[in-house]
Amino acid sequence: MLDRKFIIQNADLVRDNCVRRGTACDIDRIIELDAERLTKLQLAEDLNRQANETSQQIPKSKDDDARKALIDKGRDLRHQKEASQNSHDELEAEIGDLISAIPNLTHPDVPTGGEDDAVEISFGKTAKPTFDFNPLNHVELGEQHDLFDFEAGARVSGAGFYYLKNAAVRLDLALQQFAISFLAGHGFTPISTPDLALTPILKGIGFTPRGPETQIYSVENTDLNLVGTAEITLGGMLAGQTITDAELPMRLCGLSHCFRTEAGAAGRATKGLYRVHQFTKVEMFAFTKPDQSDAEHIRMRDLECEIFDALEVPYRVIDTATGDLGGPAYRKFDLEAWMPGRGDDGQWGEVTSTSNCTDYQARRLNVRFKTTGKKGTQFAHTLNGTAVATGRAMIAILENHQQADGRIAVPKVLQPWVGCDMIG
C-alpha cells in the first residue's frame, strides 16, 4: 500500500496514477475520512492525558471525598476516551480498506495501456527454430515419450493436475538444480520455503485469499493458505522485522510448489502444462534500499535472460503496460518464450515475470531497515522475479528442441542433471 500521508499530500498524482492503471479509487473520500480520524485521535489522546493526570493525583490525595471525586472523574474521562478511540479505530479501518485498493505508483518508463500495449524490449540469443517437419506441441511430445499423465492427474486431483513421468521428472529436477546453482553463483541465498502461509502474510504481499475471485487455495478451519508463489514466503520472512542497511541488498532464491485456483481463467484453459493448479518454481526475491531497487530490477531481468539463453530457448522481453501491472508492482518485465506448439503456428508464452514493488509490500508487511548513524527507520524495497517455473520452461524446451526423428535435445546446461543429451 501507499503511505497515507503521501496519498493525501499528492492526491492529484495518486488519482492520475489510478486512472492510468485502470483502478477505481476515491481519494477525496480518504481525505475526508482522514481529517475526521485525526480529530478523533487528538480528542482521544487529550482525554487520555487528562485521565492520566487524574490517576496520578489519586495516590497523593489524603482526603477520602476528594479521592472518590477523582476516581469518578477518571472513570468518566476514560469512558469518553474510549468512545473517541473507537470512532477513530473504525475510521482507520475504513481508510485502510480504501488505501489497500490503491495500486502502487508507476515507473515513468512504463507504457500506458493494456495487454497489447506492452513494449517489446529485446530478444534472446537463441533464434526461433525452423522445422522441416510438422512440429508437435508438448502434449503430443509427452505422449510420444511417456512424460505426463494428465488423465490420472484429473482422476486423483481434478482437472488441471498432472503427473510427470520419466525424463520429465529428470528435466523438472534439472531445471530446479540449474536455477538454484546459477543464482547461488550470483549472490542469492538458496531457500526452500513453506508451501503454506498465514493469511496476513498473503495480504501483505498483495494477495487476497478467500474472496470470490481468489487465486488462492485456503485450508479449511485454519488461517493457512497454499502459496501461489514463493514470493509470499520469501517476502514474509522479514515481516515485522527491522534490519540494518548493511544487510541490503538481501538476495534470496526460493524453491517452492505453487498452487493457483485459476479462478476467472475459465475459457482460457489450455491443454497441457501451460495453465495448471500446481507447479514448481525457483523464485528470486530481493530486499533493497530505495535507491537500489531500479538497478536491482534490471539485474533480475538480465539474470532471467541469462537463464533462458542458457536453456537455449528463444524469447522476447516485454515491459508490461500499466493496465497489466499487479497492484503492488511499480514496473514489471516479462520474458515470453517462443512455444512452437501453442496456437496454430506457435505463440509467445509467458515464462518469467519480474516486478519492482518498491515499498508497497514492505509497508504492508512492515519490513524496515535502519541506516547506521541515522535516526529512525525506512521501509525496504522488495523485488521478485521468476528464475524458472519448471512447467512452462519444460514446454518451451520440449517444443523448441524437438528433432525430425521425434527425439528431444536436452540443453547443454541441463545434461549433467538429466543424465543424457537426448530424450527418446
Partner RNA sequence: GGAUGGGUGGCAGAGUGGUCGAAUGCACCAGUCUUGAAAACUGGCGUACGUUUGCGCGUACCGUGGGUUCGAAUCCCACCCCAUCCGCCA
Name which position in 108, 158, 267, 376 contacts RNA (CB under 7 A). 376
Residue 58 touching RNA (CB under 7 A): yes
Tell me the closest approach of the beta carbon of residue 51 to RNA, in angstroms: 5
Whether 397 and 411 have beta carbons less than 8 Å apart is answered as yes
Q: Give the integer Cα–Cα distance in Å for 389 and 335.
A: 12
In this structure, how many other beta carbons lie within 10 angstroms of the beta carbon of residue 108?
Answer: 6
192 binds RNA (CB under 7 A): no
CB of 285 to RNA, least distance (A): 22
User: Minimum CB separation from RNA for residue 248, in Å?
Assistant: 16
User: How do the residues of the chain divide into helix, strand and coil, expressed in percent and rounded to 5?
Assistant: 45, 20, 35
DSSP class per residue in 250-319: EEEEEEEEEE---TT-TT---STTSS-SEEEEEEEEEEE-GGGHHHHHHHHHHHHHHHHHHTT--EEEEE
- Of 77 and 147, the one with the shorter C-beta distance to RNA is 77
Q: Which listed range, 72-80, 112-120, 148-156, 382-390, lies at the site for RNA (CB under 7 A)? A: 72-80
**Alpha helices, DSSP H, located in 58-121:** 64-100
* Residue 99 in grid coordinates: 488505501
Q: How far is the CB of 100 from RNA (least distance, A)?
A: 17
Given the complex with RNA, which of 46 and 117 has the nearer CB atom?
A: 46
- Between 35 and 119, name the residue whose CB sits nearer to RNA: 35
Among 15, 275, 289, 370, binds RNA (CB under 7 A): 370
Q: How many CB atoms lie within 10 A of CB 245?
A: 15
Cβ closest to RNA, residue 40 vs residue 401:
40
User: Minimal distance in Å, beta carbon 249 to RNA?
Assistant: 21
Q: What is the DSSP string of 118-181?
A: PEEEEE-SSPPP--SS-PPPHHHHHHHHT-EEHHHHHHHH-TT--EE-THHHHHHHHHHHHHHH
| d(C-alpha 57, C-alpha 55), whole Å | 5
Q: Of 423, 402, 172, 418, give the one whose Cα is nearest residue 276.
A: 172
For RNA, which is the closer residue by CB, 35 or 263?
A: 35
For residues 70 and 286, which CB has a smaller minimum distance to RNA in the complex?
70
Taking CB under 7 A as the rule, does residue 49 contact RNA? yes
The radius of gyration of the chain's CA atoms, rounded to the nearest angstrom, is: 27
Instruction: Return phi, psi of residue 294, to 5°.
Output: -60, -45
List the one residue from 1, 74, 142, 253 that touches RNA (CB under 7 A). 74
- In the complex, the smallest distance separating the C-beta of residue 371 from RNA, rounded to whole angstroms, is 10
Phi and psi at 318, nearest 5°, equal -120, 150
85 or 214: whose CB is closer to RNA?
Answer: 85
Least distance from RNA to the Cβ atom of residue 345, Å? 47
Q: How many CB atoms lie within 10 A of CB 248?
A: 19
C-alpha cell recorded at residue 326: 499487479
Q: Cα 205 to chain center, whole Å?
A: 6
Mark 23-42 with x for binding to RNA (rule: CB under 7 A) and - for no binding: ---------------x--xx
Amino acid at 323: G
C-alpha cell read off for 263: 479462478
Q: Total binding residues for RNA by CB under 7 A? A: 28
Of these, 11, 15, 20, 48, which contacts RNA (CB under 7 A)? 48
| Binder of RNA out of 13, 28, 32, 56 (CB under 7 A) | 56
**Of the two residues 52 and 192, which places its CB atom closer to RNA in the complex?**
52
Contact range with RNA by CB under 7 A, out of 96-104, 117-125, 170-178, 368-376: 368-376
Q: Smallest distance, Å, CB 91 to RNA?
A: 13
In the complex, least distance from residue 106 CB atom to RNA, rounded to whole angstroms: 23
> Least Å distance between CB 62 and RNA?
13
> With respect to RNA, which residue has the nearer C-beta, 171 or 365?
365
In this chain, which of 46, 94, 306, 309 binds RNA, going by CB under 7 A?
46
> Distance between CA atoms of 317 and 123, rounded to whole angstroms?
6
Residue from 6, 32, 52, 187 that binds RNA (CB under 7 A)? Answer: 52
Residue 71 contacts RNA per CB under 7 A = yes
Which residue ranges make up the site for RNA (CB under 7 A)? 5, 38, 41-42, 45-46, 48-49, 51-56, 58-59, 70-71, 74-75, 77-78, 368, 370, 373, 375-377
